[in-house]
């Protein structure tokens, strides 16, 4: 059974930083695409960043140059370093893993950007 568990959310001020982590279990660490989505109140879930098996990343335009995604294929963990946070980054962030076109989701971690 595949499980994804996020951690690292919390409260940050505009311009601040947070680092999210997501540990996967029940899967081969190096397989599949891993990444992050987010959902703000009243909005649809949106893609934030994805990282392929080979470590090559892709970012939504809204977070490019501010967020960095990485993965540790030994620890079966994906990270999201979020810098220069903005009010619009406030959302529940969901870990995502795709294995053979099947998606898996974590339960989410809240990120709130407030002054």
Both structure tokens of 22? 């997501």
Adjacent-strand bridge partners of 7: 21
63-73 core/surface letters (b: 16 or more CB in 10 A; e: else): beeebbbebee
Residues 10-37: what's their mean pLDDT?
94
Residue-wise pLDDT tens digits, 90-112: 999 999 999 988 999 999 999 99
Check residue 59 and give its pLDDT.
98
How much of the chain exceeds pLDDT 90, in percent?
Answer: 88
**pLDDT at 10 > cutoff 90:** yes
**pLDDT at 29 > cutoff 90:** no
Confidence of residue 28 (pLDDT cuts 50, 70, 90): confident
30: Cβ contacts below 8 Å, ≥ 6 apart: 53, 73
């Amino acid at each position: 059974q595949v499980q994804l568990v996020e951690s690292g959310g919390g409260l940050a001020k505009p311009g601040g930083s947070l680092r999210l982590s997501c540990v996967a279990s029940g899967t081969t660490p190096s397989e599949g695409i891993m990444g992050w989505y987010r959902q703000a109140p009243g909005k649809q879930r949106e893609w934030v960043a994805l990282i392929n098996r080979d470590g090559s990343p892709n970012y939504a335009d809204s977070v490019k140059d501010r967020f960095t995604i990485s993965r540790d294929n030994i620890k079966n963990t994906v990270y999201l370093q979020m810098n220069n946070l903005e009010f619009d980054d406030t959302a529940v962030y969901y870990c995502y893993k795709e294995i053979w076109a099947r998606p898996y989701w974590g339960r989410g971690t809240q990120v709130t950007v407030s002054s």
